[in-house]
C-alpha cells in the first residue's frame, strides 16, 4: 500500500505544486487524472521516491519513507516499487529476456527466469524473448515494461501515462493486463494519466 | 546478469566504435611490443657474439664493416692482410689469443670460414657428431647449416666463390663434411668452418704441397712454408690485459698495413644509429596509443549521452551509481585488454615475419616469443589508459538527475 500526506514540490518559485492526499491499499487501484502541466509526472516521481518532496510525507507498506538516505531509498524502491513509464525504454544492447531480468539483478535478487517466461506468456510476447527490444511494436514494448515492473513482486506499481502512445485496442489490453497482474501479486496499482479512455476503468479516482 | 555481461553487451551494440578504439590500441601496443622484442633480441644477438673479442684486425676500410664481416658474418670483408703481419701480433705481450679468419667462399649462401680450432673454442661450440676439421678440405658444419642443407657426415660439396650462392663454382675441389657442431646460439651455427689451408688450397691451385701441412695451422706454428705470401681476411684478438686496448689499436693503425677495430665501440655506434629510428617509432606508437585513449573517451562519452535514459532507468530499478560507474569503466578496461592481447599477438606475428626475412638475408633468426617484463608494464599502461579514458566520461553518472532524465523523454 502507498499513501501521501500534504505533498508539496516546487521546481522554482513560479512552478509550485501542492498535491491532494492520496491513498491506495493493497489489491486496490487508483487513477490520478490531470491535464498536462498539472504535475502528474512530478507526483509519480515523488511517490516513486525519485524526487524528494519539499514538505509532506509518503508512507509505503506501512512505514514512513520520506526521510530515508539515498542508498536506503534505492533499496526500498528496488524492493517495493515497480514503475512503468509513458514510453517504454530499455537497455538497447540487451535482449527482451535480459531486460526483464534487470530488476532482479539491480534489486539484488536471484534471476527468476521461470517468472519471466510466465509473465511473457501471460502478457503475450513469449515468442519475442530473445529479440532486441527495438524489434517489438510499441504495444508489445509497453507489455514488456509491465513484465519488468512485476519481476520483483513489488508492493506498489506506479504507471506514468502507460497508454497514451497506444491505440484503443492496445490501450484496453494493456490496462486490463496491468489490473490483472497487480491483483495477482496483491499490489497497489497507481496510474497517472490524462488519457480519458481510462476514466471508466477505475473506481477510485483523484483529479489534479 | 552481471556488470561484465552488461559491459560486453554495450560494446557489442557499438561494434564499429569499439572496433576503432581496440584497433588503435592494438596498433600502438603492437608497435611498442615489437620494438621491445626486436631491440632486445638484436641487442642479445650482437652482444653474445661480441663476448670475449677485444679487437679485430683486417684490411683498411670501414671499421664497422670489418666488425660486421668478421664477427657477425653479415657484411662483405674489407680485403686481405698478410698472415705474417697478423702473426707478429702474437708476439706482442698484450695479446692473449689471435684467431685468424679467412673468408671468401660460400655454399648455398652459408659462409665457409677458414680458421683454427680456437675459433670453435672461443664460441664454446662442441662437436656433437664426427670431429673437428683437421685435414685441408675437411669441414665442420654449424648446427643450422647442417639442419637446413641436410648435409651429413661424409657428404661432399663444391663451394661457390664470393658471398652469394650464385657465385662461380669451384668445381674441381670438393669439401668433405667431417663433423657437425651442436647449436650454440652464436654465429657459429650458420657457418661452415674449415682450416685456413683449405681456403688457400682452393684459391691457389698451384700450391699442391701445402695440403700436407694443413695441420700445422692449428698448432699456431710459424713453420708454414711461404708464410709471408699467405693472406687471411682478418683476425679476432683477445688481450691479456686492458692496457692492450689503449696502445695496440693505435700502433696497428699507424704502423701497419692493417686496421684495428674495437667491437664494443663499433656496435655502440651502430646501436646509437639504430636507436634514433627506434625512438622515432616509439614516439609514433605512443601517439597512436594516446589517440586510442581519446577514441575510447569519445566513444564512451557519446554512448553515455545516448544512454542517459537507460542509465536513469537502471537507477530507478535500484542500480547504484557506483555499480553503473563500474559498468562503464569495465567497457574501457575490456577495450584495453582486447587491444593489449591483440597487440601482443600482432607483435609476435611481426617478429615471425622479421625473423623469416632476417633468416633469409643474414641467416640470423630471432626466436624468443615469451612475454618480456617490459610488456607487463605495457599491460599496466594499457589498463591505466583504458581506465582514465573511461573514468572521465563515466563520472557523469554521479551527476545524472534521474527524475529529470526520465521526465524529459
Q: In sequence order, what DSSP letters do the residues of B209-261 get, joined into one string?
A: GGGGGGGGGTTT-S--TTGGG-EESEEEEEESSTHHHHHHHHHHHHHSSEEEE
> Which set of grid coordinates corresponds to residue A94?
540487451
Q: Give the one of B1, B310, B406 whose C-beta lies nearest to A105's C-beta.
A: B1
Q: Looking at the structure, do residues B88 and B185 belong to the same domain, yes or no?
A: yes
For residue A75, the chain B residues in CB contact (below 8 A) are 318
To which H or E segment does residue A190 belong?
strand A188-193
Segments making up each domain of chain A, as ranges? 2-207
Q: How far apart are CA A78 and CA B391, in angstroms?
A: 26
Residue B184: per-residue pLDDT: 84
Provide the 8-state DSSP code for B168: P
Q: Do A91 and B319 touch (CB under 8 A)?
A: no
Q: How far apart are CA B73 and CA B103, in angstroms?
A: 9
Q: Do B409 and A51 touch (CB under 8 A)?
A: no
Question: Taking the model in full, what pTM does it have?
Answer: 0.75
Q: How far apart are CA B150 and CA B336, in angstroms?
A: 46
Residue the block writes with cell 671499421: B63
Q: Do B9 and A98 touch (CB under 8 A)?
A: yes
Q: How close does chain A come to B304, measured CA to CA in Å?
A: 12
Whether A61 shows a pLDDT value over 90: the answer reads no
Q: Enter the ipTM.
A: 0.89
pLDDT-based confidence at A197, cuts 50/70/90? confident
Q: How close does chain A come to B28, measured CA to CA in Å?
A: 29
Q: Looking at the structure, do residues B180 and B198 belong to the same domain, yes or no?
A: yes
Question: Following CA atoms B297, B302, B306, B312 in sequence, which dihedral angle do they give, to the nearest 10 degrees?
Answer: 30
> Which set of grid coordinates corresponds to residue B385?
589508459
CA angle, B282 as apex, B276 and B287 as ends, to 5°? Answer: 130
Q: Do A71 and B320 touch (CB under 8 A)?
A: yes
- In the beta sheet, which residues pair with residue A3? A23, A59
Which ranges of B307-372 does DSSP label H, i.e. alpha helix?
A: 308-316, 321-362
Closest Cα in chain A to B3: A105
Provide the 8-state DSSP code for A95: B
User: Is residue A202 within 8 Å of A29, Cβ to Cβ?
Assistant: yes
**What are the DSSP calls for A133-173, one per residue?**
GGGS-HHHHHHHHHHHHHTT--SEEEEESTTTTS-HHHHHH
Closest by Cα among A97, A88, A102 to A164: A88
Residue B217: per-residue pLDDT: 41
The B-side interface with A (CB below 8 A) comprises: 1-2, 5-6, 9-10, 12-13, 307, 309-310, 313-320, 323, 402-403, 406-407, 409
Q: How far apart are CA B229 and CA B226, in angstroms?
A: 5
Closest by Cα among B20, B18, B21, B22 to B8: B18
- Phi, then psi, of B122 in degrees rounded to 5: -60, -40
Residue B177: per-residue pLDDT: 92
Residue B205: per-residue pLDDT: 53
Q: What is the mean pLDDT of residues A117-127?
A: 88
Residue B359: per-residue pLDDT: 79
Whether A96 shows a pLDDT value over 90: the answer reads yes
User: Is residue B340 within 8 Å of B25, Cβ to Cβ?
Assistant: yes
User: Is residue A47 within 8 Å of A158, Cβ to Cβ?
Assistant: yes
Q: How far apart are CA A2 and CA A81, in angstroms?
A: 10
User: Is residue B71 within 8 Å of B263, Cβ to Cβ?
Assistant: yes
Angstrom CA distances, A19 to A153, A188, B55, B399, stand at 28, 19, 98, 28
Q: Looking at the structure, do residues B215 and B324 belong to the same domain, yes or no?
A: no
For residue B314, the chain A residues in CB contact (below 8 A) are 91, 102, 106
Mean residue pLDDT across chain A: 88
> Which set of grid coordinates corresponds to residue B401?
538527475
User: Is residue B192 within 8 Å of B142, Cβ to Cβ?
Assistant: yes
Residue B268 in domain: no
Closest Cα in chain B to A97: B1
Q: Looking at the structure, do residues B74 and B164 belong to the same domain, yes or no?
A: yes
Q: Looking at the structure, do residues B87 and B116 belong to the same domain, yes or no?
A: yes
> Which set of grid coordinates corresponds to residue A44?
509519480
For residue B409, the chain A residues in CB contact (below 8 A) are 87, 89
Residue B293 in domain: yes
Q: Do A93 and B320 touch (CB under 8 A)?
A: no
A2-207 is a CATH 3.40.50.300 domain: yes
Residue B236: per-residue pLDDT: 92
Residue B270 in domain: no
User: Residue A122: which residues within 8 A CB-CB, separation 6 or more?
Assistant: A177, A181
**Substitution target from A91, A112, A148 for chain B, most B beta carbons within 10 A:** A91
Residue B226: per-residue pLDDT: 53
Give chain B's end-to-end CA distance (angstroms, integer). 27
Question: Following CA atoms B393, B395, B398, B402 in sequence, which dihedral angle do they give, to the nearest 10 degrees?
Answer: 10
Domain, as residue range, for B210: 55-261
Closest Cα in chain B to A94: B9
Q: Do A92 and B314 touch (CB under 8 A)?
A: no
Q: How close does chain A come to B402, measured CA to CA in Å?
A: 7
Q: How far apart are CA B30 and CA B305, in angstroms?
A: 31
Which of residues B232, B261, B290 is at a domain's end? B261
pLDDT tens digit at each of 409 positions of chain B: 788 888 888 888 888 888 988 898 898 899 889 888 888 888 887 888 888 889 999 999 899 999 989 998 888 888 889 988 888 888 888 899 999 999 888 888 889 999 998 998 888 889 998 889 988 889 999 988 888 888 888 888 888 887 776 777 777 788 899 999 998 888 888 899 999 888 888 776 534 444 444 443 444 444 444 555 788 999 999 988 888 888 889 888 898 889 999 998 888 888 888 888 888 888 888 898 888 888 888 888 888 888 888 888 888 888 888 988 998 899 889 999 999 999 999 999 998 888 888 877 777 777 777 888 888 999 999 999 889 988 988 998 898 888 888 887 6
Closest Cα in chain B to A152: B317
Residue B402: per-residue pLDDT: 86
Closest by Cα among A194, A145, A201 to A172: A201
User: Residue A96: which residues within 8 A CB-CB, separation 6 or more?
Assistant: A90, A120, A125, A128, A129, A130, A131, A132, A133, A136, A144
Closest Cα in chain A to B320: A74
Q: Looking at the structure, do residues B313 and B368 belong to the same domain, yes or no?
A: yes
Q: How close does chain A come to B399, measured CA to CA in Å?
A: 14
User: What is the separation of C-alpha B37 from the centre of its chain, rounded to a whole number of angstroms?
Assistant: 8
**Substitution target from A54, A70, A74, A147 for chain B, most B beta carbons within 10 A:** A74
For residue B317, the chain A residues in CB contact (below 8 A) are 78, 102-103, 106-107
Q: Looking at the structure, do residues B291 and B359 belong to the same domain, yes or no?
A: yes
For residue B334, the chain A residues in CB contact (below 8 A) are none
User: Is residue B317 within 8 Å of A78, Cβ to Cβ?
Assistant: yes
Q: How close does chain B come to A157, measured CA to CA in Å?
A: 12
Closest by Cα among B385, B299, B387, B300 to B32: B385
Q: Do A91 and B314 touch (CB under 8 A)?
A: yes
Q: Do B1 and A98 touch (CB under 8 A)?
A: yes
- Count CA atoms within 13 Å of residue B27 on its CB side: 17
Q: Do A94 and B6 touch (CB under 8 A)?
A: yes
Q: How far apart are CA A75 and CA B317, in angstroms?
A: 9
For residue B322, the chain A residues in CB contact (below 8 A) are none
Q: What is the mean pLDDT of residues A107-114?
A: 88
Q: How far apart are CA A175 and CA A178, in angstroms?
A: 5
- Decide the pairing of beta strands A29-33 and A188-193: parallel
Domain total of chain B = 2
Residue B96 in domain: yes
> Which set of grid coordinates corresponds to residue B90?
702474437
Closest by Cα among B118, B170, B175 to B149: B175
Q: Give the one of B309, B317, B406 whose C-beta lies nearest to A102's C-beta.
A: B317
User: Residue B145: which residues within 8 A CB-CB, separation 6 or more?
Assistant: B110, B151, B189, B190, B191, B192
Q: Looking at the structure, do residues B232 and B326 belong to the same domain, yes or no?
A: no
Q: Looking at the structure, do residues B131 and B199 belong to the same domain, yes or no?
A: yes
Amino acid at each position: 500500500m502507498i499513501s501521501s500526506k500534504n505533498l508539496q514540490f516546487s521546481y522554482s518559485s513560479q512552478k509550485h505544486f501542492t498535491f491532494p492526499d492520496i491513498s491506495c491499499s493493497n489489491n486496490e487501484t487508483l487513477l490520478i487524472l490531470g491535464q498536462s502541466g498539472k504535475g502528474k509526472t512530478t507526483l509519480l516521481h515523488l511517490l516513486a521516491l525519485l524526487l524528494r518532496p519539499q514538505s509532506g510525507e509518503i508512507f509505503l507498506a506501512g512505514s514512513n519513507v520520506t526521510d530515508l538516505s539515498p542508498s536506503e531509498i534505492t533499496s526500498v524502491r528496488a524492493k517495493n516499487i515497480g514503475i512503468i513509464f509513458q514510453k517504454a525504454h530499455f537497455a538497447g544492447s540487451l535482449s527482451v529476456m535480459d531486460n526483464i531480468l534487470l530488476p532482479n539483478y539491480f534489486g539484488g535478487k536471484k534471476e527468476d527466469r521461470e517468472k519471466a517466461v510466465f509473465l511473457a506468456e501471460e502478457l503475450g510476447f513469449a515468442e519475442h524473448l530473445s529479440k532486441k527490444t527495438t524489434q517489438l511494436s510499441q504495444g508489445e514494448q509497453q507489455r514488456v515494461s509491465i513484465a519488468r515492473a512485476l519481476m520483483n513482486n513489488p508492493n506498489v506499481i506506479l504507471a506514468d501515462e502507460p497508454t497514451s502512445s497506444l491505440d484503443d485496442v492496445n490501450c484496453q489490453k494493456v490496462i486490463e493486463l496491468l489490473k490483472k497482474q497487480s491483483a495477482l501479486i496483491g499490489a497497489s496499482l497507481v496510474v497517472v494519466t490524462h488519457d480519458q479512455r481510462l476514466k471508466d476503468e477505475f473506481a477510485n479516482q483523484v483529479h489534479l | 546478469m552481471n556488470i561484465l555481461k552488461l559491459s560486453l553487451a554495450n560494446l557489442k551494440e557499438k561494434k564499429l566504435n569499439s572496433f576503432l578504439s581496440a584497433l588503435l590500441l592494438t596498433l600502438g601496443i603492437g608497435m611498442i611490443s615489437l620494438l621491445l622484442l626486436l631491440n632486445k633480441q638484436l641487442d642479445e644477438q650482437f652482444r653474445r657474439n661480441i663476448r670475449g673479442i677485444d679487437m679485430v684486425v683486417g684490411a683498411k676500410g670501414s671499421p664497422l664493416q670489418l666488425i660486421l664481416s668478421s664477427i657477425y658474418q653479415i657484411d662483405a670483408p674489407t680485403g686481405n692482410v698478410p698472415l705474417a703481419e697478423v702473426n707478429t701480433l702474437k708476439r706482442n705481450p698484450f695479446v692473449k689469443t689471435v684467431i685468424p679468419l679467412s673468408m671468401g667462399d660460400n655454399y648455398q649462401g652459408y659462409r665457409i670460414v677458414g680458421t683454427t680450432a680456437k675459433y670453435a673454442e672461443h664460441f664454446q661450440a662442441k662437436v656433437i657428431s664426427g670431429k673437428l676439421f683437421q685435414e685441408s678440405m675437411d669441414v665442420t658444419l654449424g648446427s643450422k647449416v647442417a639442419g637446413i642443407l641436410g648435409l651429413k657426415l661424409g657428404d661432399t660439396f663444391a663451394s661457390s666463390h664470393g658471398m652469394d650462392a650464385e657465385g662461380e663454382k669451384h668445381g674441381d675441389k670438393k669439401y668433405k663434411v667431417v663433423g657437425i657442431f651442436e647449436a650454440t646460439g652464436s654465429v657459429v651455427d650458420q657457418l661452415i668452418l674449415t682450416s685456413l689451408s683449405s681456403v688457400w688450397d682452393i684459391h691457389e691451385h698451384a700450391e699442391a704441397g701445402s695440403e700436407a701441412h694443413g695441420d700445422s695451422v692449428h698448432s699456431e706454428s710459424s713453420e708454414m712454408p711461404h708464410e709471408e705470401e699467405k693472406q687471411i681476411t682478418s683476425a679476432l684478438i683477445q688481450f691479456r690485459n686492458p692496457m692492450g686496448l689503449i696502445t695496440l689499436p693505435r700502433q696497428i693503425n699507424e704502423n701497419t698495413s692493417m686496421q684495428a677495430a674495437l667491437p664494443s665501440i663499433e656496435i655502440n655506434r651502430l646501436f646509437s644509429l639504430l636507436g634514433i629510428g627506434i625512438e622515432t617509432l616509439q614516439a609514433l606508437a605512443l601517439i597512436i596509443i594516446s589517440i586510442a585513449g581519446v577514441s575510447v573517451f569519445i566513444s564512451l562519452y557519446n554512448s553515455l549521452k545516448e544512454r542517459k535514459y537507460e542509465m536513469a532507468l537502471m537507477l530507478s530499478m535500484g542500480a547504484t551509481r557506483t555499480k553503473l560507474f563500474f559498468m562503464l569503466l569495465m567497457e574501457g578496461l575490456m577495450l584495453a585488454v582486447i587491444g593489449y592481447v591483440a597487440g601482443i599477438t600482432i607483435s609476435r606475428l611481426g617478429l615471425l615475419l622479421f625473423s623469416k626475412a632476417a633468416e633469409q638475408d643474414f641467416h640470423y633468426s630471432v626466436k624468443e616469443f615469451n612475454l618480456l617484463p617490459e610488456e607487463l608494464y605495457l599491460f599496466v599502461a594499457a589498463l591505466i589508459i583504458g581506465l582514465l579514458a573511461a573514468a572521465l566520461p563515466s563520472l557523469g553518472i554521479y551527476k545524472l538527475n534521474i527524475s529529470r532524465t526520465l521526465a524529459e523523454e
